[in-house]
Amino acid sequence: MPLGLLKYGFSNDYPIEVDLPAPKALKKRYDVVIIGGGGHGLAIAYYLAKYQGITNVAVLEKSYLGGGNTARNTAVIRSNYLTSEGVKFYSESVDLFKNLSNEFDFNIMYSERGQLTLAHTDATVRAFRQRAEVNKHFGGRTEMIDRKQIKELVPCLNLDPAHLPVLAGLWHMDGATARHDAVAWGYAKEAAKRGVEIHQLTEVQDFVVNRNQVTAVKTNRGSIECGCVVQAVAGTSSLLMNKLKIRSPIQTFPLQAMVSQPFKPFLNPLVSSSALHCYVQQTSRGEIVFGGGSDPYPLYNTRSTLDLKESLLAHAIEMFPFMANVKLMRQWAGMTDMTPDYSPIMGQSPYDNYYLDAGWGTWGFKATPICGKTMAELVATGRTPDLIKPFELSRFSRFQQVNEMGATAASH
């Protein structure tokens, strides 16, 4: 039998599935050039090819596919935000995520667990009430729960950590997780199948600008003419925007996270506490993922620091005391493009044919599908979809921020 299997593997009958076509030379011109081959860039390419019929598209990635923040986030999917703009946008994303495995015919390991956020103060309880109502109003499944219900959901949780007893919880049933790499691979595979060219190790170094148009991008593999350009380079958004002299409020901070050795399943929901600056979840592989707030000062670096790791773990152990004996397996950092209102910067730029997909701070992964869909619509039609209109860069010069700080900071 094993020999037969081996023979079959090497025979011509064996169905070889090519995920990505082999790299080829860059064409002279593309209708759409997408800078950044992470989840967002690949999703934009996919929705352009599948729903907008635009296939003369190049995705340029300076390193390898999905190797930036797509690989570094903690894979939390949720929509329990505070503003109506935020809730509407992220809810659509959650809906798209649910069907992605089917759409790709590729398992992204989407797993609906529910997300539990803990309130340790009366002020947080009030904010949670508001978030629960806003969420319900827009069709989300979110409710307030008490200590007894929390205990039932997460029996191993310490409800009285030090000086911060848990008062109530925000239970968001739509909360979920998925395999982040698979999301990028699924989009890449399906986009490539429809004719999108994906070029790795291709770095955009400069732009050619004619009046108010970006006419070409200069890469380390030569210059390419373009109909329009989309930038989706989380972590280095400012560096590209600075080349075009686009002013933005983005500031780049490292965000550190870590993962433990694998355990038997014991923690179903994603648990987070903004007062303890910590969130904890168990992946489908059994590892415990720990995440917290961004570093205290800006930096373009993915280095890790012991002091942040220590304070994050001290808080995690307050929540789950038995984890004191857990061994860590990996730790890493990503670069987050933070905005002052904790909402993204999407849509038009001061240039006619240059589109921004930036300012994704610590909330980019969960928006991958909806961001790809709406940005593709913008690129194809030239009109900003209503869903992302509030997130335009120009909101800052109009003093119309979309404040999601309370619903975002350290609760991803």
Identity of the residue, 24 or 303, whose beta carbon is nearer to another protein in the bound complex:
303
Q: Does 268 bind another protein (CB under 8 A)?
A: no
Smallest distance, Å, CB 307 to another protein?
A: 5
Smallest distance, Å, CB 294 to another protein?
A: 11
Here the tokens at position 355 are 């589109």
Q: Which of residues 303-322 bind another protein (CB under 8 A)?
A: 303, 305-307
Q: Does 245 bind another protein (CB under 8 A)?
A: no
Q: Does 247 bind another protein (CB under 8 A)?
A: yes
Q: Is 403 helix (H, G, I), strand (E, B) or coil?
A: coil
Is 37 within 8 Å of 61 (Cβ atoms)?
yes
Identity of the residue, 109 or 299, whose beta carbon is nearer to another protein in the bound complex:
299
Binding segment for another protein (CB under 8 A), chosen from 96-104, 113-121, 202-210, 397-405, is 397-405
Q: Does 205 bind another protein (CB under 8 A)?
A: no
CB atoms within 10 A of CB 46: 28
How far, in Å, CA of 244 to CA of 233, rounded?
A: 15
Smallest distance, Å, CB 342 to another protein?
A: 13
How far, in Å, CA of 395 to CA of 400, rounded?
A: 5
Q: Does 396 bind another protein (CB under 8 A)?
A: yes
Q: Does 244 bind another protein (CB under 8 A)?
A: no
Closest by CA to 292, choosing from 309, 268, 317, is 309
Q: Does 257 bind another protein (CB under 8 A)?
A: no
User: Checking DSSP bridges between strand 213-219 and strand 222-231, what pairing results, if any?
Assistant: antiparallel
Identity of the residue, 70 or 252, whose beta carbon is nearer to another protein in the bound complex:
252
Smallest distance, Å, CB 18 to another protein?
A: 37
Range 306-312, long-range pairs (CB < 8 A, 24+ positions):
308/256, 309/256, 309/258, 311/277, 312/256, 312/258, 312/277, 312/278
Closest by CA to 46, choosing from 184, 148, 151, is 184
Q: What are the DSSP calls for 326-367, one per residue?
A: PPEEEEEEEEEEE-TTS--EEEE-SSTTEEEEE--TT--GGG
Here the tokens at position 118 are 């803990």
User: Checking DSSP bridges between strand 115-119 and strand 270-273, what pairing results, if any?
Assistant: parallel
How far, in Å, CA of 339 to CA of 267, rounded?
A: 32
Phi-psi region of 54 (alpha: psi -120 to 50; beta: other; left: phi over 0): beta
Angle between helical axes of 180-193 and 368-381 (0-180°, round to 10) = 30
Identity of the residue, 299 or 328, whose beta carbon is nearer to another protein in the bound complex:
299
Binding segment for another protein (CB under 8 A), chosen from 18-26, 67-75, 90-98, 234-242, is 234-242
Smallest distance, Å, CB 298 to another protein?
A: 6
Identity of the residue, 128 or 351, whose beta carbon is nearer to another protein in the bound complex:
351
Identity of the residue, 249 or 286, whose beta carbon is nearer to another protein in the bound complex:
249
Q: Which of residues 321-350 bind another protein (CB under 8 A)?
A: 340
Binding segment for another protein (CB under 8 A), chosen from 15-23, 209-217, 301-309, 350-358, is 301-309
Q: How far is CA 14 from the centre of its chain?
A: 36
State which of residues 59, 196, 250, 270 lies at the interface with another protein (CB under 8 A). Answer: 250
Site string for another protein, 129-168 (x = CB under 8 A): ----------------------------------------
Q: Does 67 bind another protein (CB under 8 A)?
A: no
Smallest distance, Å, CB 236 to another protein?
A: 8
Q: Which residues contact 382 (CB under 8 A, 6 or more apart)?
A: none
Smallest distance, Å, CB 310 to another protein?
A: 10
Q: Which residue has the tokens 């009285």?
A: 160
- How many positions of this chain bind another protein (CB under 8 A)? 25
Using CB under 8 A, list all residues that contact another protein.
Answer: 236, 238-239, 242, 247-252, 296-301, 303, 305-307, 340, 396-399
